[in-house]
Structure 1
Amino acid sequence: MAKQVQEAYIVAATRTPIGRSHRGFFRNMRPDDLLATTLKAALAAAPGLDPAAIEDIICGCAIPEAQQGLNVARIGAVLAGLPTSVGGITVNRFCASGLSAVQMAADRIRVGEAEVMIAAGVESMSMVPMMGNSPSLSPTIFEREGDVGIAYGMGLTAEKVAQQWKVSREAQDEFALQSHLKALAAQKAGYFADEITPIEVTDRTANLEIGESIATTRTVSLDEGARADTSLEGLAKLRTVFAARGSVTAGNSSQTSDGAGALILASESAVKRFGLTPLARFVSYAAKGVPPHIMGIGPIEAIPAALRYAGLKHQDIDWFELNEAFAAQSLAVMNTLGLDPAKVNPMGGAIALGHPLGATGAIRSATVVHALKRNKLKYGMVTMCVGMGQGAAGIFEAV
């Protein structure tokens, strides 16, 4: 017998601060511990919920190997002290892994197969390199011209987008500057406080004189990447890194990062049973494929599809979290779809805040549901391009 379709509500949404990879505050923190800390924080944000009611944890991770391998979702659940009855599955759609986790969790509830789910995302780019420790592509990819774009580095695909959509270096640098300025303003105003769970980190240094390791503990509560010294002059001096005569630089690209996010989703009956307070309703989701060599345009296809499934137009969306993989692709998406710049990343994006790959979708989902509530807005969207030629978009409604 078919189960009754029901709504899926977000009742808790939290994330870690985002640290710079390799030199940032999470460089020595294992991603499974980072995930576990975030899961515990999400549960603390939903008092009254019986953890035993959680059906499953779906966790996005773009490079699920090494310290974040072996099904990090299940390991995170165990480390967080959740009941052994709570399952865990790790999913990978590269940069949209965390958003896909939210969609999958919502769908389990919407088709009546679960009452409470956790969607999460985690990535340590400090411990696991982009593309993994031993990437291996099928040689057949290089035999067909249309497929070789799968092997392109992400920066090269951004150069292709900049060329085809005629996005200038100056426009990219200006976009990057605005990302930092908006992020710094939002931090100063305290807007991230609702979504960020402060994390305690321990740094160790060697004292060679006494032959001991000195441990110092500090609490981090803000994203590490936003830079007050960013300027157009400084950005203009940066050399291109992906093409000799290109326009994409480290300054107008997203930062490699470490971080995690988690959302608890519940059905209406579970909301009533446990006395939970919904933040938002999950409305719709779409994932679409695009040519791999211009993967950055993925949202151009995914956004209209998600809007169509929801019966909405892009003018109905009050807040867009458009992941800034590169300024070039962000501008190409915005210009092609006619998105209102004032509604796109009002608190900055990945160029300033960082992009911990598989965690970003969950992190930006936490951002948008809290932003809708804080600003008394109705609809928000999270969208991103995806490596190897995809785009994804999810819509949330404040309740």
Structure 2
Amino acid sequence: MSSASDPVIIAARRTPIGTRGRALAHLRVEELAAPVIQAALEDAEAAHGSPITVADVILGNCMGPGGNPGRISALAAGLGHGVPGATVDRQCGSGLAAVLDAAAAIRAGDRRIRVAGGVESASTAPVRSVDGIAYGRAPFTPAGFEDPEMTRAAEDLAEHDGIPRARQDAHAARSHSRARAAVSAGRFDAELVPLSGLHYDDAIGGAERLLPRLPALFPGGTLTAGTATRIGDGAAALVLGPAGCAPGLAIRASAVFGCDPALPGIGAAGAIQDALHSAGWKLADVHALEIVEAFAAQSLAVLDRIGIAEDDPRLCADGGALALGHPWGASGAIAVVRLFSRLVRAGAPAGTRGVAAASIGGGMGIAAVLEVVR
């Protein structure tokens, strides 16, 4: 249900997503984030006809380099010494968590404008080590708990839920097909800030033609490179204001959710259900969903649990992370940028509703429910 204190997203931009090691590989996190922060603020000022003073910049980031990328990016964007910054790590939900942290400050009574989003440069992430031994990521659980690598967890989930390879291949193919159609129709153009000559997400292509021929990643398994999203570099920034700002997306409710760390991919399902319950909505009331597709099997497991068909036109209508790529700390914020384009930029009427969500390594999920205001 709506509230007089609900914050509103009034501008939303993102970079194209570059596959790790490719077009954006030479850019540090602040070089990815600063241009989208500037573009989002320019959009907000143009829409509201006056300069904006920013109270804080909050960015999600997972894999480094440390040093508070939120603050570094605020300075790189030219916001001045007086604008502070913070960085949130909730792994693949970090970008959405940053947006919700900014919204919480506004909802609590501080009505100043904030910038929130996420950034990840998988290409420049530092190598970490303990006692001189390098490791790919920090553990998501303490000793005594399951802590599978994400590809292994997706394979285990496919086996646990009985999700066959053909269904996973079809889901990935659908994501690519929708993304290519969106590029052709120009539906990404208004949200993108091109960098280093990259104008569109570089993972989008004709991958569906290859899907049936790709080998399984595990002996006897069903997961392939085509049904696992490409790790990416990218950033997203959103401008949030107090209730009464329009047009935009009002944040009506949100939720974080914990689940078994052995099956982390299902976390988004519980978060979506909890957030809808908090808002007093049903899934049938929602017009658009953006659920981060880390893996086809993981995405399908979430859809099965919330009771939505995998080919539902409301779901990732312009393709999801399987086609666009997955810059970990930014992906949750990118989901909100996509909702902003699909609903606010596309002229959806006031009252149109959307959901953004992600499952998170370590056994969690995060979701937000949003509503168009005019």
TM-score when normalising by structure 1: 0.85
Please tell me whether residue 389 in structure 1 is matched to residue 363 in structure 2: yes
Q: Which runs of 5 or more structure 1 residues have no equivalent in the other structure? A: 202-218, 272-276
- The secondary structure found in structure 1 opposite 2:189 is coil
The Cα shift of 1:351 comes to 0.7
Equivalent position amino acid for 1:265 in 2: L
SS at match of 1:398: strand
The corresponding residue for 1:376 is 348
Within 2, Cα distance between the matches of 1:195 and 1:186?
12
Q: Secondary structure at the match of 1:45?
A: helix
RMSD value, Cα: 2.0
How far apart are residue 268 of structure 1 and its match?
3.6
Alignment deviations for residues 138-177 of structure 1 (CA, whole Å, 9 cap, x no partner): 9961xx3xx1x22x10011111110111100010001111
SS in 2 for 1:58: strand
Distance 2:356 2:142 in 1: 34
**2:35/2:193 contact within 8 Å kept:** no
Match among 317, 322, 337 for residue 291 of structure 2: 322
- Give the share of equivalent positions with the same residue, in percent: 36
CA shift digits 1:224-249 (9 cap, x unpaired): 11112532xx21221222x3111111
Alignment of 1:77-92 (within 5 A): 77-92=74-89
Aligned to 2:35: 37
* 1:319 partner letter: A
Which segment drifts farther, 374-383 or 254-263? Answer: 374-383
CA displacement at 1:194 relative to structure 2:
2.1
Residue correspondences, number: 358
Give the structure-2-normalised TM-score.
Answer: 0.91
**SS of 2:59 mapped into structure 1:** strand
SS in 2 for 1:46: helix
User: 4+ residue stretches of structure 1 with deviation over 2 A?
Assistant: 48-51, 129-140
1:247 paired with 2:219, answer no
Matched-pair contact (CA < 8 Å) for 2:176–2:207 = no
Q: Does 1:188 align with 2:157?
A: no
Within a 5 Å distance, the mapping from 1:214-229 to structure 2 comes to 219-229=197-207
SS in 1 for 2:262: helix
Post-superposition offset of 1:195: 1.4
Gaps in structure 2 of 5+ consecutive residues: none
Cross-structure match for 1:336: 305
Contact 2:31-2:73 at 8 Å conserved across structures = yes
User: What's the offset of the Cα at 1:189?
Assistant: 0.5
Render the CA deviation track for 1:39-89: whole Å, top value 9, x for unaligned.
1111111124534x31111100011x23xx200110111111102221100
Call closer, same or farther: CA 1:129–1:368 in 2, change over 3 Å.
farther
CA distance in 1, matches of 2:102, 2:51: 18
Mapping 1:153-232, distance limit 5 Å = 153-199=149-195, 201=196, 219-231=197-209
Q: How does 1:66-77 map to 2 (within 5 A)?
A: 66=65, 69-77=66-74
Structure 1's 229 and 360: CA in aligned 2 closer, same or farther, altered over 3 A? closer
